């Protein structure tokens, strides 16, 4: 009998949780400490997250003035983790103004700066969001801005001293992902042109005829006394484009890159909501030296 009662209780609890997720107006996250759960719950999609900021700031200011900023921030992290649309909230940085490096040469206001990261369930997709917080000595801690990564895009880096462009193409062909852009970056970046500038014009004319050319830029490297051509290519998942690029480099006797301290970079488009999964997957390859989420979108809070 007791077992049946426990099972029934667990079943009712599950129903309550499900209704809490489906209907945020029924939710009470932390009883007695926060009065704006309805507004906060309805605004935790990425598109509407800015509407939740005032509620979070009100929550931060509701704590006792005797609490220090770190205690309030840890309470906020607990609160965020209790929310059904937020996971893995962490306080990753906290420092007062004496520990901070001035931004753009300007002194920072006196107070405490902090960073919280979290995962947001955005209509079924997982988004990584970073909150920036600041608390002046005589004012409550508050969110001053937040950022998230542009969905579906990941930068993958290869050391060009150890990796050829053909090997980069082989890597691309392992996956069924669109290649948004790829290029070479670093010291002496681009294609190296060993002869005088008379070859630049025909090379640029040939480049401009390529359907995969995104941008080409010519410049003179005073250190090496060489002409450089920086080329950004797009849609290089297309194997015909890959073959054409290798043939182009051979026809004009060009060298791509000048190691060390340089990288081949690919921007992959991965399935929406699977950015972290694919970032980790790419990092498993020995030829990959680093990966990054790309195009951080920053929102400033007044």
Task: Read off φ and ψ for residue 233, nearest 5 degrees.
Answer: -110, 155
Distance CA 36, CA 40 (A): 6
- Alpha-carbon gap, residue 151 to 129, rounded angstroms: 12
**Is the alpha carbon torsion for 57, 62, 66, 67 positive or negative?**
negative
Show which of 113, 129, 149 is a domain's final residue: 149
**3-state DSSP assignment of residue 165:** helix
Whether residues 170 and 122 share a domain: the answer is: no
Whether 90 is in a domain gets the answer yes
**8 and 145 share one domain:** yes
Residues (pLDDT < 50) of the chain are 2-36, 38, 99-101
Last residue of a domain, one of 94, 127, 149: 149
Among residues 132, 149, 166, which one ends one of the domains?
Answer: 149
Domain shared by 286 and 211, yes or no: yes
User: Terminal CA-to-CA distance of the chain, rounded, Å?
Assistant: 58
Instruction: Tally DSSP H helices, then E strands, for the chain.
Output: 8, 13
Q: Domain tally for the chain?
A: 2
Looking at the structure, do residues 189 and 277 belong to the same domain, yes or no? yes
Do 30 and 162 fall into the same domain?
no
What local confidence, expressed as pLDDT, does residue 2 receive? 43
Please check whether residue 196 lies inside any domain of the structure.
yes
Write the DSSP symbol of residue 226: E
Three-state secondary structure of 36-95 = CHHHHHHCCCCCCHHHHHHHHHHHHHCCCCCCCHHHHHHHHHHHHHHCCCEEEEEEEEEE
Structural domain for 128, as ranges: 2-149
For residues 67 and 119, what is the distance between their CA atoms, to the nearest angstrom? 27
Return the pLDDT at 260. Answer: 63
| 204, 161: one domain | yes
pTM of the model: 0.65
Angle made by CA atoms 145, 149, 153, in degrees to the nearest 5: 165
- The token duo for 247 is 């043939």
What is the structure's pLDDT at 196? 61
Sign of CA dihedral 15, 17, 19, 25: positive
Question: What is the pLDDT at residue 25?
Answer: 37
Q: Quick one: CA dihedral 209, 212, 215, 219, positive or negative?
A: negative
Give CA separation, 87 vs 14, 15, 29, 56, 97, in Å: 19, 20, 14, 16, 29
Residue 63 has a pLDDT of 78
pLDDT tens figures, 84-143: 888 899 999 888 765 444 555 555 567 788 999 998 888 888 888 999 998 876 678 889
């Amino acid at each position: 009998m007791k077992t049946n009662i426990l099972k029934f209780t667990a079943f009712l609890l599950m129903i309550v949780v499900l209704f809490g997720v489906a209907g945020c107006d029924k939710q009470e996250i932390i009883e007695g400490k926060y009065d704006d759960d309805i507004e906060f719950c309805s605004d935790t999609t990425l598109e509407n997250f800015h509407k939740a900021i005032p509620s979070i700031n009100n929550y931060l200011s509701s704590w006792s003035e005797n609490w220090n900023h770190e205690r309030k921030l840890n309470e906020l992290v607990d609160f965020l983790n209790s929310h059904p649309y937020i996971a893995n909230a962490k306080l990753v940085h906290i420092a007062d103004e004496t520990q901070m490096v001035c931004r753009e040469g300007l002194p920072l206001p006196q107070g405490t700066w902090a960073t919280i990261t979290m995962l947001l369930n955005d209509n079924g997709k997982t988004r990584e969001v970073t909150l920036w917080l600041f608390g002046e000595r005589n004012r409550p801690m508050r969110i001053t801005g937040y950022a998230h990564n542009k969905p579906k895009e990941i930068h993958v880096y290869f050391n060009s001293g150890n990796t050829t462009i053909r090997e980069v193409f082989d890597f691309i062909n392992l996956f069924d992902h669109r290649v948004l852009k790829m290029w070479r970056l670093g010291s002496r970046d681009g294609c190296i042109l060993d002869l005088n500038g008379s070859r630049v014009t025909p090379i640029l004319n040939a480049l401009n005829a390529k359907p995969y050319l995104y941008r080409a830029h010519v410049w003179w490297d005073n250190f090496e006394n060489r002409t450089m051509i920086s080329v950004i290519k797009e849609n290089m998942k297309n194997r015909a484009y890959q073959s054409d690029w290798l043939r182009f480099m051979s026809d004009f006797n060009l060298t791509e890159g000048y190691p060390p301290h340089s990288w081949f970079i690919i921007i992959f488009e991965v399935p929406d909501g699977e950015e972290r999964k694919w970032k980790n997957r790419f990092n498993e390859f020995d030829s990959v030296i680093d990966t990054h989420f790309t195009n951080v979108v920053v929102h400033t809070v007044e």
